């Protein structure tokens, strides 16, 4: 599978709202908490929403500034902003990173079974579990990114993974012959997710 063109598929949001609905300024404040200048953080928040890298929960009536988000979306924006600060703004890479925050990876199903809630259900998104884990369970969460390239075909493979510290990472499953690792990025998310976690209402986590 190549990753030159990536589209993020929306997932159904048939679950109770968890935490307050957020405006763009709230998402920007979460980004800015890591030291990003506020004007730049506002621009990043809007860019991520316009490109579909973070989901909009309610569209509002007055353009982008009135759209509403949940904490999962703010947390994903924070991860994307950290990659941006590292100089990673390639559209395919950021799309794969956003997908890893929102979509559970079937190749990591046996590992991710550990992240199920009481009752046997996974949280809506991996980033949901990361925020709640760092905020309320004393866990550490890590975001990993790996890029592979085939020198003969020029195809590129991008693997992004979100996991709890101490759990087994999920590398790209059996890269086809001819693909070689080009780069790897690993980020500890604990301090980055802290501003998002502070927005949560504890009663919404049950």
pLDDT for residue 4 is more than 70: no
pLDDT for residue 130 is more than 50: yes
Model pLDDT for residues 19-59, shown as the tens digit of each residue: 788 999 999 999 999 999 999 999 999 999 999 999 988 77
Model pLDDT for residues 99-108, shown as the tens digit of each residue: 999 999 888 8
The pTM assigned to this predicted structure is 0.85
Q: Which among 15, 38, 14 has a CA at the least distance from the CA of 27?
A: 38
Mean pLDDT of the chain: 85
**pLDDT band at residue 126 under the 50/70/90 scheme:** very high
Which parts of the chain fold into alpha helices (H)?
24-32, 38-50, 71-85, 91-102, 109-112, 126-136, 190-197
Q: Averaged over 174-179, what is the pLDDT?
A: 80
- Please identify which residue in the block is written with the tokens 């993974």: 161
pLDDT at 116: 86
Give buried/exposed letters for 98-132 (b at 16+ CB in 10 A, else e). Answer: bbbbbebbeebeebbeebeeeeeeebbbbbbbbbb
Which parts of 51-155 fold into alpha helices (H)?
71-85, 91-102, 109-112, 126-136
Strand order in the sheet with 141-150: 156-164, 141-150, 179-188
pLDDT for residue 180 is more than 80: yes
């Amino acid at each position: 599978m190549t990753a030159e063109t990536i589209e993020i598929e929306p997932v159904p949001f048939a679950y109770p709202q968890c935490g307050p609905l957020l405006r763009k300024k709230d998402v920007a404040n979460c980004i800015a908490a890591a030291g990003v200048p506020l004007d730049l953080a506002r621009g990043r928040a809007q860019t991520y929403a316009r490109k579909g890298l973070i989901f909009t929960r309610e569209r509002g009536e007055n353009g982008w500034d009135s759209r509403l988000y949940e904490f999962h979306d703010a947390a994903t924006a924070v991860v994307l902003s950290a990659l941006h600060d590292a100089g990673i703004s390639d559209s395919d890479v950021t799309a794969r990173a956003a997908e890893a925050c929102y979509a559970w990876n079937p190749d990591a199903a046996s590992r991710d079974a550990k992240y199920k809630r009481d009752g046997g259900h996974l949280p809506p998104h991996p980033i949901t579990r990361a925020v709640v884990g760092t905020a309320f369970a004393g866990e550490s969460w890590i975001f990993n990114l790996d890029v592979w390239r085939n020198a003969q075909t020029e195809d590129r493979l991008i693997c992004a993974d979100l996991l709890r510290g101490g759990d087994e990472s999920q590398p790209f499953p059996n890269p086809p012959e001819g693909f070689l690792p080009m780069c790897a990025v690993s980020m500890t998310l604990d301090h980055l997710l802290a501003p998002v976690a502070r927005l949560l209402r504890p009663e919404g986590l049950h």
